[in-house]
Amino acid sequence: VGLALFFQGVVPSDSDSFTINLKTGQTDRDDIAFHFNPRVGTPSVVRNTFRNGQWQNQEETSGGPFVKGGAFDLFMVVKPEGYEVIVNGYVFCMYWHRMPVESVSALNIHGDIFMTNFGLIEPGTCEYPHIRPCIPFVGPIPGGLRPGMALYCQGVVNPDANDVVINHKLGPKDGDDIAFHFNARINNSVVRNSCRNGNWEGAEETQGCPFVRGSAFDIFIVVKADGYEVWAYVNGQKNCFFKHRIPVEKVTTLHIKGEVIMNTIGYVAVSHLLHAKWIKSFFIY
């Protein structure tokens, strides 16, 4: 309870279905606490539990947010009462616990699906994910920032946008230091900097910007021991790297501003963040 699973992927145009199972072990005989099965060809989404060799009462929703050839972002948030499923920034369903969540030890993904990223959002970041937050956004980072974490943002750039700014700060006030300032200047460049004692330091600038007016985007800011690595999944490539100038342990606050709609904001454990995997059958513990 207090953690979430994050999935980002694309449904192939010839896909009929795919499945995400939260299981008690890795064999076919092991129980499945939560079986999540989008049947794209029908279309519908089926949920169920498999216990002692038998399927239990099935829950099914006609239609659903998954379409052939379409991209998706999915969160499974583990709550005391059940699994809350959030797809593309909207709450899709709640599946009430039928088995103790403590018995779940394995994640199984199979079917016709291409996962670009999937990972685990740690219990220590229980205030996340934020779904459709107001922009500008200022919020605490539960437990503070540290290497091994990655900020994940999914959103849409406004048609008249000039820039998108993401700041990792030492406090919530306007005058607080900024350890990492990421400023995507639409149709221009990407600027990185830090601000200390009210003064901007040496700016780093890369020509070209991965964000496009009116288009959706996904971005990861990975916190490493030596700096911040930025992956912008508009073009699926690493965008830039910014070396630490202020100790990352001092960062306590996330600040986002600009002409942008954010659907989802979350922090992912990098040790569980996997990239670009074609799924037929996959287990992770």
Confidence (pLDDT) at 235: 44
Cα 88 to Cα 67: distance, rounded to the nearest angstrom: 12
Looking at residue 280, its pLDDT comes to 44
Which segments of the chain have a pLDDT < 70? 1-2, 122-129, 233-239, 269-285
Nearest CA-CA partner of 152 in 80, 89, 243: 89
pLDDT of residue 284: 46
Percent of the chain with pLDDT over 90: 54
Cβ count within 10 A of residue 95:
20
pLDDT for position 273: 52
Structural domains of the chain sorted by starting position, each given as residue range(s) with its CATH number in brackets: 4-121 (2.60.120.200), 128-272 (2.60.120.200)
Q: Say how many C-beta atoms besides its own lie within 10 A of residue 123's C-beta.
A: 13
The string of pLDDT tens digits covering residues 58-114 is 999 999 899 999 888 888 888 889 999 988 877 899 999 999 999 999 999 999 888
